[in-house]
Structure 1
Amino acid sequence: MAPDNDALVREFVEAFNTRDADRLVPYLHPDVVFHAYGDEEVRGRDAVVQVWRGVFEMFAEIQFETVHQAVDRDVVIAEQVHGLGLPGRPVAPVMNMAIYEIRDGRIAAWRDYTNPQYASKLVSG
């Protein structure tokens, strides 16, 4: 695991590019709460991993990257581009702002802020 919160979150974001939901497990606190803007909260590491397993199955390509990141002790704020490509479609660059709260060296709270209507428009072409 990463020695500091900046590296922890950067490594976590990079893990999405593997499209392997099990690669997310070491970064997530067992009691993590994930809330993506416009969706219901997802509670618990297993439930969050299951959500991403479904996302990875849906998209043919996933390319996540961190644009800017700021760290204040156990809070990390990250501007990200979530490149998402449905089968037969180009990768759509969806801008995202993520807030992570770290506890015991793992992500305990994670909030994603994306405009879901705009993201859907970009992804569907």
Structure 2
Amino acid sequence: MSATDNDKLVQEFVEAFNTKDAEKVGAFLHPEVVFQNYGESPVTGRDAVVEVWEGVFRNFAQVKFETVNQAVNGDVVLAEQVHGLAFPGGKLAPIMNLAVYEIRDGKIAAWRDYGNPQYAMKLLQS
């Protein structure tokens, strides 16, 4: 895939979160994907990652993800993002995140999210 294809793949992947449909998110993932969210153990395999996001989508009333800046170097995409999350009855918390994606066979094979979980919790509880 070209850098342009990888750029578009990640943009569409991030937009898929706004549907709160874990299967739609999973369609972008390689079957052997490894997902690492800062401070947590890695999750391996598309089905396991989809299961994680099914739980996230159940727990949050609102999910609004957007990309602020994105850079592509071959099969690696770096994306500065805002993960907007809100618990039921809560306000949308703008959580800054940096994601690193590695693309293989047209799918996301590695995905690492870097952020500050303590600050995220503070925002979510405000």
TM-score, L = length of structure 1: 0.97
Q: Which amino acid aligns with 2:63?
A: I
What CA deviation, in whole Å up to 9, does each residue of 1:11-65 have, x standing for no partner? Answer: 0000000001010122000000000001110000000000000000000000000
Aligned twin of 2:8: 7
1:84 counterpart = 2:78: no
1:122 and 2:123 correspond: yes
CA RMSD of aligned residues (A): 0.7
For the 8 Å contact 2:26–2:49, the answer to whether it is kept is no
Are 1:72 and 2:48 counterparts?
Answer: no
What TM-score do the two structures reach when normalised by structure 2?
0.96
Q: After superposition, what is the alpha-carbon deviation per residue over 1:50-105, rounded to whole angstroms, capped at 9, x for unaligned?
A: 00000000000000000000000000000000000000010000000000000000
Tell me, yes or no, if the aligned pair for 2:60 and 2:86 is still in contact at 8 Å: yes
- The corresponding residue for 2:41 is 40
Unaligned 5+ segments in structure 2 are none
Aligned residues: 123
Determine what percentage of the aligned residue pairs are the same residue: 66
Aligned to 1:52: 53
Gaps of 5+ in 1: none
